[in-house]
Chains A and B, each alone.
Chain A
Amino acid sequence: AQSVTQLGSHVSVSEGALVLLRCNYSSSVPPYLFWYVQYPNQGLQLLLKYTSAATLVKGINGFEAEFKKSETSFHLTKPSAHMSDAAEYFCAADLSNFGNEKLTFGTGTRLTIIP
């Protein structure tokens, strides 16, 4: 079955350290891929997206993600964590090639920043 898997429901990093949040997809055709962020008591906000152009995608707030077809991965990284990065991050994929935004989401990774 087609799916999106996020490894690690909780990740803690020290302020200034590298952030790495993992996402793998399962699909016979490389899908469009997305990362969303949800701050406490807020809705989800698009961080970045891969739509079959450049495999290294840059997003807002210094985040970037690299699409690796051979590994069916789309991991999210940031070189230096900031306290304001504490939030929940969701990987999502358009697995259906549907005309509307019918995205399949992962279960989310809660990122905690240690001062």
Chain B
Amino acid sequence: ETGVTQTPRHLVMGMTNKKSLKCEQHLGHNAMYWYKQSAKKPLELMFVYSLEERVENNSVPSRFSPECPNSSHLFLHLHTLQPEDSALYLCASSSHRGRSTGELFFGEGSRLTVL
């Protein structure tokens, strides 16, 4: 198993659909993240979970709903999305040991297209 696994790799959904993105890390880390990657924009941090508790929510619209049932799994539930939400969604994990070390381990991403 690779370190951080994301499924599905590609997702096409209509604006009225409900879907979920899944992330699983096999590294024994205790923090997990969702990032949004859009063309010609910096990576946008969406959510941070540390020790299964949400510690960051960067003004993300409520149509995105994260869930972290345990330290190895992270979900992003999607509903009534807009076409501008089409992007690559990246999951990452890290081992939180105090001051940032910058060592995020990323999955390969889920490419989302909203029609």
Contacts and interface: CB of A to CB of B under 8 A. Distances in A.
A61 interface: no
A103 B42 contact: no
B104 A102 contact: no
Interface string B32-52: 010000001111010010100
B81 interface: no
Interface residues of A, number: 29
Contact of A32 (B90, B102, B107): B102
Interface string B75-115: 00000000000000010101010111111101111000000
Contacts of B103: 46, 49, 101
Interface stretch (A22-30, A37-45, A76-84): A37-45
Contacts of B42: 4, 104-108
B48 A102 contact: yes
Contacts of A42: 108-109
Contacts, number: 79
A101 to B, nearest CB: 5
B107 A103 contact: no
Given A4-B42, A43-B4, A43-B90, A101 B108 contact: no
B100 A43 contact: no
Contacts of A51: 101-102
Contact of B33 (A41, A49, A101): A101
Contact of A90 (B43, B96, B98, B107): B43
B21 interface: no
A105 B101 CA distance: 15
A9 B40 contact: yes
B12 interface: no
A100 B48 contact: yes
Contact of A43 (B50, B55, B106): B106
B96 A49 contact: no
B31 interface: yes
CB-CB nearest 6 A-B residue pairs: A43-B106, A34-B102, A105-B43, A94-B100, A44-B106, A105-B42
